[in-house]
Amino acid sequence: MPLVVLGLSGALTHDPSAALYVDGELLAAAEEERFTRNKHAKNEMPLHAARFCMRQAGVKPDDIDVVAFPFGKTSIFGKARWHYAKRYWYAPDRALDAIFNGNRHYRRNVKKVRGLLEQLGIAWNGIEFDAVAHHLAHASSAYHLSGFEGKTAILGIDGKGEYATTFFGYGERGQIHKIKEFYDPDSLGQLYASFTEYLGFEILDGEYKVMGMAPYGDPTLYDLSRLITFDGKEITVNTKLVNTIGLRRYKEDGKAYYFSKRLIDWLGPRRKGDMADDPYVHYAASIQKLYEDISLQLIEVYLGDILRETGRLVFAGGGALNVKLNQKILDLPYVKELFVQPAASDAGTAVGAAAFASWKRGVMPQKMEHVYLGPNYTTEECIEACTSHSGKPVFEQLDNVPNRAAEILAAGHPLAWCQGRMEFGPRALGGRSILGCPNTKGISDKINQQIKFRERWRPFCPSILDTVAEEMLQTDHPAPYMTITFEVSEAWQTRIPEVVHKDGTSRVQIVTEKTNPRYYALLKQMETLTGNGAVLNTSMNRRGEPMICSPTDALNMFFDSDLEFLFLEDILVTKQTQETQSTPGIKDQALSG
C-alpha cells in the first residue's frame, strides 16, 4: 500500500495551506487564501486547500495514513521557554505563561487540527498524527526537496515557530542535524517585520515593499545597529525598541505595533502614505543592510565550515523570501549551490511537515521540480465562467495561444495569463500572471497604476528563456522560482529596462520547456518578435488581495481593473464595447495567431 501523508499548516494563525504526498511524490499543494479570497487567511484552517489536495490526488479520507502539522511540543527542560521568560521579564504574564503553560499553543493547534479532520471526514483514530517542530518543517521543506546529494548546510530564518526563530543545521543521508537555534525575542525575521511596521507597511506583506524601497536609499546615512547586537556567537535584539510586547508596544489610533515609542522618539514618526521619501528610504536601506550583515555573519559562524566543505546551502522560513539577502549569500565564495524553498513562508511548512513525516517512515521525498501544484481548469470550464459572468465578456477560442499573446505583448499591451495549474507559493510563475513586454517604455508604471494599484516604486521581475539566462545574468546558477536577484549585464539592462531595478538587479524566473511548455512557447515567440526571450511577469492580483485561482476570480479582477486582454486556457477574453454589446459570446471562427 502507498504511504499517503497529508500536510497542514496554519500553526501561527496565518498562511494556512495543505500538501499531499503519495509515496514521496508531492501531488498537490495550495494555500487556503486562494479559495477563500482572504489574504493570508488569518485565523483560518486549510479546509478548502485540503479538500482540493485530496480531490486532485484521488485520495479518500480512509486512504490517509499520516497527518503532519508544523508545530510541536516544547520541553520545560530545554532552553526555549526559559529564554523567552527571561527576555520578556517586563511582561510577567507572558513570561510566567511560557514557563508554566508553555505548550498552550500546541494544545490549541491539535484541537484545531482535530476539528478540521472531522470536517474532512478523516477519523482521528485512523491516522498517525505527526507534530513536527516548526523550524524542522521549514528545514525539511528546503533540504528534502532540494535534490542535493551529500552533506548540505541548512538555514532557517523566520519570525518564530513555537519559540525558535532562527535555525542552523545540516542534512546528510536524509537526516537533519541541528547546530544552533535562537529563541524569541531574538529574531532576525521579527526585527525586520517590526521595522516594516515602522515604515508604514503591514507585516507579512510589507517586507517585500521594504526590500523594494531599499535600493532608493543610502544605508550609510543612518546607523540602526542599536536595534541588534552580535557578539560573535549570540544575537540580542533590543526589545526596548523593537520586537516588543505588552505595554511596551507603541499604540496609534487604537492599534498596537511591534515597536516601542522609544523608536519613534529616536527616528521620528511612523511613515504614512505611498511615497518613498526621505528619511524613510534611507531607513529601509539601513535595515536591509543590517539584516544582510547579521545574517551573513551568522552563516559564517555556524555554517561556514560545512559550506567550505560542500558548497551546498538550502534556505527556508519567511526570511528566505528576502531575495537581496539570497543574492549576497550566493555571492559568498564558498556557496556553489543555493536552493531557496519557493514557498519559504509558513505556507511551505505544510510541505515540509509532510516531507519530514514521509522521510521518517522510510520514504524519501522527491526533488521539487516545479510549483504548479494547485487547481487547473479546462477550456470548457473557462467558457462556462465567461457565459455566466455578469460582465458579459467577449471571448474567442484560439488555435495558437502563445503566438496571439506574444502579438498583444509586442504591441505594448499588458495582459492576464491564466494557464494550467496554479502556483504554490507567493510568486506568479506563468500560471496566474499579468504579463508585459519589458522593453515597452512605461509598461511598469501602467501595470502599477491601472491594474495592480501598487506603489509606483515597486519593481517588476522578468521570466526569461533558459537559452538567454547565462548571457543575461552572467551565471549558470538555476533560478526557476524568482527567489534570488542577479546582476543584469549592461547589454540586457538596455534591452529590458522595465524589469531591471534601480540597483541593476532583477529577480528572475528562468523558464524551461519541460516545466511549462506553453509559457516557454510564449517566450520563444517574444524572442522572435522583439529579439528578447523575456516578459515582465507579476502575480495576477490587486493590492491587498490573494493571487487569483479560478476563472471567475480572474474575470472579477479583469472587470475591476484596466486590463484589456485575458487569456483563460484556450480562450482570449475582452470587454464589451459599444460596438460589441450585441456580439455573441463566442465567435465561430478561431484565430490562428
Catalytic residue set: 14
State the DSSP string of 346-373. Answer: GGGHHHHHHHHHHHHTT-PPPPP---B-
Return all residues near 396 (Cβ < 8 A) that are at least 6 apart. Answer: 571, 572, 586, 587, 589, 590, 591
The span from the CA of 384 to the CA of 255, in Å, is 44
CB atoms within 10 A of CB 123: 12
Element (H, E) at 252: strand 251-252
The span from the CA of 572 to the CA of 557, in Å, is 15
The span from the CA of 537 to the CA of 391, in Å, is 26
CB-CB contact of 184 with 258 (8 Å): no
Q: Locate 364 and state its grid cell.
A: 524519501
The span from the CA of 315 to the CA of 327, in Å, is 12
Residue at 512: amino acid letter: T
Q: How many CA atoms lie within 13 A of 452 on its CB side?
A: 29
Return the HEC string of 60-81.
CHHHCCEEEECCCCCCCCCCHH
Q: What sign has the CA pseudo-torsion 307, 313, 318, 321?
A: positive
Burial of 322 (0-12, 13-18, 19+ CB in 10 A): buried
Site of grid cell 507534530: 131
CB-CB contact of 108 with 11 (8 Å): no
Roughly what angle, to the nearest 10 degrees, separates helices 206-213 and 280-310?
A: 100
Phi, psi of 16 (to 5 degrees): -65, 145
CB-CB contact of 340 with 110 (8 Å): no
The span from the CA of 68 to the CA of 190, in Å, is 25
Residue at 213: amino acid letter: M
CB-CB contact of 319 with 123 (8 Å): no
Q: Locate 251 and state its grid cell.
A: 499604540
For residue 398, list its beta bridge partners: 591
Q: How many CA atoms lie within 13 A of 37 on its CB side?
A: 11
State the DSSP string of 10-77. Answer: -TTSS--EEEEEETTEEEEEEETHHHH--GGGTT---HHHHHHHHHHHT--GGG--EEEES-----TT
The span from the CA of 205 to the CA of 40, in Å, is 9
